[in-house]
């Protein structure tokens, strides 16, 4: 199966999806419908022991649908038992005007137009996509190729009903209100976006072209989300890894290096006196070199919580 590359990248590129969803032709989503039914999906969540205090590693999918709720019981029970909450980026940081200005600057071409940065064929395909999606070429011209590529990918999610407003980060950010829990981030929004500035122009156009090719294949979006819903850890890792086969340096930058950089902070929390709920993109928790793998190699004991685990392993 030729799995979608840019769409897979989006599982790691949470900050940009939040930014784009706020700046594209965003419509206010309808409130998620409440449901008393057991959700169809399992998700991906681990409990980590071996330190002074336990930690939950909750794998997130950053764009979801209302029908993805309620979340699996293991997520909500782990949330209730935790006193501190950690996201990839601290809640509210993206809304800061100075942060948004920096991100706009990073994704904007200086003294050039996108049409001059890509091949004529790529520009033709992008213009055709813009006409179908209602995005005028003039809105795309100032963008770096990577920003244009992710604009296409995010909009592809949105047209299928997936939105960050229904994503797990947004859900749990709302739960913070009045909870008494503290919240923080593993990295800054500007630091995340800075990753894209290190992608060479050829790779940027590759991402853009792949986004355009797959914008008309909505079933690939559903396949990606399905890997999270069913809790298929092996399939998710395999698809993530294969998606980067032409971009090994990008895989290292987006996943491996970031996972490694997070470990000292996570170890400090494990040695603290509070139970911690950590929510990151599910791709960061699966397979060799993942956060789960790295913590296990440090001597901690991560245990996957399955749908049948009603108590999340807590006493």
Please tell me the predicted confidence (pLDDT) of residue 308.
64
Residue 261: domain span: 5-304
Instruction: Specify the number of domains making up the chain.
Output: 1
The answer to whether residue 312 is domain-embedded is no
Position 158 scores a pLDDT of: 83
Q: Which range (83-92, 117-126, 225-234) has the least confidence?
A: 225-234
Instruction: Confirm whether 236 is domain-assigned.
Output: yes
* Residue 43 within any structural domain of the chain: yes
The encoded tokens of residue 117 equal: 């940065």
- Angle of helix 145-159 relative to helix 201-214, nearest 10 degrees, comes to 20
| pLDDT for the residue numbered 191 | 87
pLDDT digits (tens, 9 = 90+) for 28-41: 444 444 444 444 56
Q: What is the pLDDT of residue 220?
A: 65
pLDDT reported for residue 311:
44
Q: How confident is the model at residue 25 (pLDDT cuts 50, 70, 90)?
A: very low
Considering only residues 168 and 184, tell me which one the structure prediction assigns the higher pLDDT. Answer: 184
Percent of the chain with pLDDT over 90: 42
3-state secondary structure of 47: strand
Place 216 in a pLDDT band, splitting at 50, 70 and 90: low
Backbone torsions φ then ψ of 58, nearest 5 degrees: -105, 120
Give the model's pLDDT for residue 58. 97
297 C-beta neighbours (distance < 10 Å), count: 10
User: What burial letters (b/e) apply to 204-227, b meaning 16+ CB within 10 Å?
Assistant: bbbbbbbbbebbeeeebbebbbeb
Please check whether residue 239 is in contact with residue 251, taking contact to mean a CB–CB distance below 8 angstroms.
no
Establish if 310 belongs to a structural domain.
no
Mean pLDDT of the chain: 82
In order of 114, 135, 244, 248, 256, the CA distances from 251 in angstroms are 25, 30, 6, 5, 7
Q: For residue 309, is it within any domain? A: no
Distance between CA atoms of residues 121 and 125, nearest Å: 6
- 315 in a structural domain: no
């Amino acid at each position: 199966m030729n799995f979608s590359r840019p769409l897979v990248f989006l599982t790691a590129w949470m900050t940009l999806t939040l930014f784009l969803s706020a700046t594209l032709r965003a419509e206010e989503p309808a409130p998620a419908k409440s449901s008393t039914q057991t959700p169809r999906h399992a998700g991906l969540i681990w409990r980590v022991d071996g330190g002074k205090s336990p930690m939950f590693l909750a794998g997130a999918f950053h764009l979801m649908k209302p029908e993805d709720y309620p979340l699996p019981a293991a997520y909500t029970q782990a949330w209730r038992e935790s006193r501190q909450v950690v996201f990839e980026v601290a809640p509210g940081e993206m809304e800061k005007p100075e942060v948004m200005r920096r991100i706009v600057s990073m994704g904007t071409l200086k003294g050039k137009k996108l049409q001059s940065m890509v091949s004529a064929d790529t520009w033709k395909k992008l213009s055709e996509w813009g006409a179908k999606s209602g995005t005028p070429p003039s809105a795309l011209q100032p963008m770096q190729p990577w920003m244009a590529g992710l604009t296409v990918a995010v909009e592809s999610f949105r047209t299928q009903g997936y939105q960050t407003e229904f994503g797990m980060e947004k859900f749990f950010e709302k739960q913070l209100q009045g909870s008494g829990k503290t919240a923080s981030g593993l990295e800054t929004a500007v630091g995340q976006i800075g990753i894209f500035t290190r992608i060479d122009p050829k790779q940027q156009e590759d991402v853009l072209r792949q986004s355009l090719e797959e914008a008309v294949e909505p079933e690939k979006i559903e396949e990606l989300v399905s890997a999270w819903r069913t809790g298929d850890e092996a399939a998710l890792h395999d698809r993530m890894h294969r998606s980067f086969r032409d971009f090994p340096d990008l895989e290292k930058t987006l996943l491996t290096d970031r996972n490694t950089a997070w470990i000292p902070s996570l170890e400090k929390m494990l040695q603290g006196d509070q139970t911690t709920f950590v929510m990151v993109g599910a791709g960061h928790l699966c397979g060799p070199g993942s956060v789960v793998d790295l913590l296990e190699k440090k001597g901690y004991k991560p245990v996957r919580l399955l749908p049948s685990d009603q108590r999340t392993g807590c006493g």
